Amino acid sequence: KNEVEQSPQNLTAQEGEFITINCSYSVGISALHWLQQHPGGGIVSLFMLSSGKKKHGRLIATINIQEKHSSLHITASHPRDSAVYICAVRAGGATNKLIFGTGTLLAVQP
Amino acid sequence: EPEVTQTPSHQVTQMGQEVILRCVPISNHLYFYWYRQILGQKVEFLVSFYNNEISEKSEIFDDQFSVERPDGSNFTLKIRSTKLEDSAMYFCASSRSYTGAANTGELFFGEGSRLTVL
C-alpha cells in the first residue's frame, strides 16, 4: 500500500469549474507539500503546510492532521491549470526526504 | 527569480557507461537533493546532501551512485556504470532549510535531466 494516496488519478473539468484534489497519507508527518508538474516534466512547488489552510491566488490548500488528509482546491479553473498535481509528505523524525504520491492528472477544457 | 538549473536536459548513453548529471542549486540554499522519476511512475527520493556530506539516501542509491559538490556551486550526481533500469528523469532540488521548516523548507526543483540508457 502506498504511504501517500491521491484521488482522483485523472480529472477532466470545464473552464471555470471548482476543482478538488485529495491526498491521504498513512504516516505521521511534519509537513505536506503540493507540487505541480508541467507536461514537459518540470516540477514547481505550490504549497508547503503543516496545519490549517493556505491560499495563493486561485489555489487553496488545506490539511487535517488528525484525519491525515489534505485537499488542493482550484477556483475558476483555466486551461493553463492543466498539469499533474502531486502531494508529497515529509515524515516525522529526522528524515528530510519527501514521499511522493502518484499524482493527479488534471485537464481543463475551454 | 532564483532557480535551480540542470544540465544536460537529455542524455543518451550506452549501458555500462558513466554519466554525470549537473545541477546548480539556488545560491543561499543549504540542502540539496536528487530525485528520479521513471516514466509513468511517481517521483522517488535518491539522496539528500547537507554540510558537504550525504545526510540521507534511499535503497535505490547504491554503490553505483555518488554525489559531489566540487566547487561550492555545482552539485553533481554520478552513475558509475549505467543500467537499462536507470533510464528516468532525474530532478535536482534545493531548499533553504529542512523540508519541514515553516517558511524556508520549500523545495525548488530544476527542470530535470532525462537519461536514456540503451
Tell me: the pLDDT tens digits for A45-100?
999 999 999 999 999 999 999 999 999 999 999 999 999 999 999 987 788 899 99
- What pLDDT is recorded for position A41? 81
> Is B48's CB within 8 Å of A30's CB?
no
Q: Give B6's pLDDT tier (boundaries 50, 70, 90).
A: very high
Residue pLDDT, tens place only, A6-54 = 999 999 999 999 999 999 999 889 899 999 998 878 899 999 999 999 9
Cβ neighbours of residue B96 closer than 8 Å, sequence gap 6 or more: B26, B28, B29, B30, B31, B104, B105, B106
B107 and chain A: CB distance < 8 Å anywhere?
yes
Q: Please say if the pLDDT value at position B2 is more than 80.
A: no
- For A36, A66, A110, B24, B69, the CA distances from B11, given in Å and listed in that order, are 24, 44, 36, 17, 21
Q: pLDDT tens-digit profile of B54-95?
A: 999 999 999 999 999 988 789 999 999 999 999 999 999 999
Which DSSP state fits B3? Answer: -
**Is B99–A33 a contact, with Cβ atoms under 8 angstroms apart?**
yes
Give exposure, B93-112, as e/b (b: 16+ Cβ within 10 Å): bbbbebbbbeeebbbbbbbb
A87 touching B (Cβ < 8 Å): no
Place of cell 549537473: B22
Q: Does the beta carbon of B112 lie under 8 angstroms from any beta carbon of chain A?
A: yes
Q: Is A52 helix (H, G, I), strand (E, B) or coil?
A: strand
User: What integer pLDDT is reported at residue B102 of this predicted model?
Assistant: 66
